[in-house]
Structure 1
């Protein structure tokens, strides 16, 4: 055990390559950390940049004693810089960050406190997404003994987490530098989850802001080669199969890749915009994995839309995949505010919400399974075959306009199922009574947008409610504004016309 009293609590490892000014938000967030500089370090590992990134990093290291720079020949991928960063890291824990993301001010302090209090090998901090999706269900609440069996950890497979350094060394956990570089974080993280003595999820504070750059500058943003990508995915499946016996848990873990890395590529605008020959290659890879690697329960447990996509892919029905994708671009959430009031710090709000398609509500079959009515034939399983339900649900979410932090509001839901011939129209009436004095641990200063999130049958769609909740200071009484009111529109117009 390392007895160095000067050992940092946390080492932040950051691979960099030609990031230039995109690095600034990360650096600023590290300079503002509540954890004292003497208790953490930052190891920048530059992967052969050809711009002024090395000069920028060297200047930072000259000013900040806890910032360090390691320079490498270009490897073309984050794996080697991360591995080298671990070897140079002295911290008790290691956090892997990307050069264009950033931390909340108390992130490192809170992550380390959680790890230390619960003797955790891994801590997964809540993330906010900027032009990219991040896990949602995982962060509904804190979890201090999370496993792949009792929590949706499998939804979070990026490496932006806190790992005990001794744990990484004990199990020789490093990122793959072999021929299959894609999904290297999946293989690293899923193996770490399976080996971890304790994994914690810190959900009551947004620790990490994960973004997709407007210029798509991230090296992993380029279109993947299907053969290489799915060979890498098979390696991730191999790791699960080596640790988890056949059965419901293995099926659920496999299902994550079938849903996210396979059929999600075959839906909506994403498929419409992709070259036809590339889609054909993706479909061929998915078909082979479905037939060779997955038990029947994997696809059967998918939501109805994803299950239909998997079936069409396995059958090679490319024209029907395109027809379904074109129809799906019209699926959206619809929500209307039925009433709201403010009493002290409390906002009470009632909303009616549903999934819509085309000119009206999405229709569901009336046979008790609530499967959505899709524009392609032959994709519904026969009656009597166990399948995942198509039932929908609604959450109300407060999203901070400046930080993008999202908070689930407490809701009660009444669902109305209205028969229309041989189909159903499903609508939800949702009520929340939310204490905006205590929201986000009392960190309420600023403007919050309230939106409805309708989930079910394979869709998750958000829609804003045109209600803004303004808090003048942390814990201050809220003021609710209807964006669509005449006076609200007048104030916005006056703001635009005011001289700068």
Structure 2
């Protein structure tokens, strides 16, 4: 890293695919939200975009040393993009949000404050959307999926699909990785012995374009993932408390 640029305290990870029209306005909103947060970086993970998303990012990077782009040669999905961004991050605290503009960056300071106030045992601050702007059918899909997930996993979270999340980098990297991880983070963070904090965030319509990443609406894939997470939780072994004897 350039020695003239301080190490970031916060890394904002934004997975995107074909979101050229949303890049500049969303970056501006993120910068405004973090103006009092100390050093930060914004990592866009370009998940195999075929439009001008990459060009837009390169243009903006010329005047923004805190903006970085990591690119997948082909689309690998949202969970893979988030993981790529977290692994590339330099900050100890990670904030994620979707790249379509539906997650309002104005709520980032609330998530950061909640993580700090909740203490070292808090592993995740999960945003929970209110005033959903999706179609009635998508809201129904999400409601059913969240209800089924919550009843089976008992993760105490009504909306795991919200892209606004805040967590410590080391906690995330300790989680078992698989496709769709981002939908099950509360349950898996609790599995590691951490607590979960919740913040209500106001949903809004996407800035431009159409959805590229689906909801938890691929029924059979979702069921397989859900059963897999349930198995992981049930098979979690107690970590022994050990101390050196002198």
Greater C-alpha Rg: 1
Question: Is 1:130 aligned with 2:123?
Answer: no
Question: Following the alignment from structure 2 to structure 1, what is the Cα–Cα distance between the partners of residues 114 and 24?
Answer: 27
Q: Residue 15 of structure 2 contacts residue 82 of structure 2 at CA under 8 Å; is this kept in 1?
A: yes
Deviations 1:175-219 (A, max 9, x none): 41xxxx4x432333321133243322234xx3x636568964223
Question: Is 1:102 aligned with 2:96?
Answer: no
Displacement after TM superposition at 1:16 (Å) = 1.3
Please name the residue that 1:202 is paired with.
Answer: 199
Question: Is 1:153 aligned with 2:146?
Answer: no
* Aligned 1:186-225 pairs, distance under 5 A: 186-203=183-200, 206=201, 209=203, 211=205, 216-220=210-214, 224=218
SS at match of 1:28: helix
Displacement after TM superposition at 1:25 (Å) = 4.5
SS at match of 1:44: strand
SS at match of 2:29: helix
Question: Following the alignment from structure 1 to structure 2, what is the Cα–Cα distance between the partners of residues 174 and 13?
Answer: 19
Displacement after TM superposition at 1:39 (Å) = 2.4
Question: Is 1:184 aligned with 2:181?
Answer: yes
Displacement after TM superposition at 1:223 (Å) = 6.5
Question: Following the alignment from structure 2 to structure 1, what is the Cα–Cα distance between the partners of residues 48 and 21?
Answer: 17
| Among candidates 163, 171, 175, match of residue 167 of structure 1 | 171
| Among candidates 228, 241, 248, match of residue 234 of structure 2 | 241
Question: Following the alignment from structure 1 to structure 2, what is the Cα–Cα distance between the partners of residues 236 and 66?
Answer: 35
- Normalised to the residue count of structure 2, the TM-score between the two structures is 0.72
Compare relative contact order (CA 8 Å, sep 6+) and give the higher one, 1 or 2. 2
Question: Following the alignment from structure 1 to structure 2, what is the Cα–Cα distance between the partners of residues 221 and 197?
Answer: 26
SS at match of 1:157: coil
Please name the residue that 1:228 is paired with.
Answer: 221
- Normalised to the residue count of structure 1, the TM-score between the two structures is 0.38
The structure with the largest strand share of the pair is 1
Displacement after TM superposition at 1:156 (Å) = 2.6
Gaps of 5+ in 2: 144-150, 238-246
Please name the residue that 2:73 is paired with.
Answer: 73
Displacement after TM superposition at 1:12 (Å) = 1.0
SS at match of 1:153: coil
Question: Following the alignment from structure 2 to structure 1, what is the Cα–Cα distance between the partners of residues 80 and 34?
Answer: 30
Displacement after TM superposition at 1:48 (Å) = 1.8
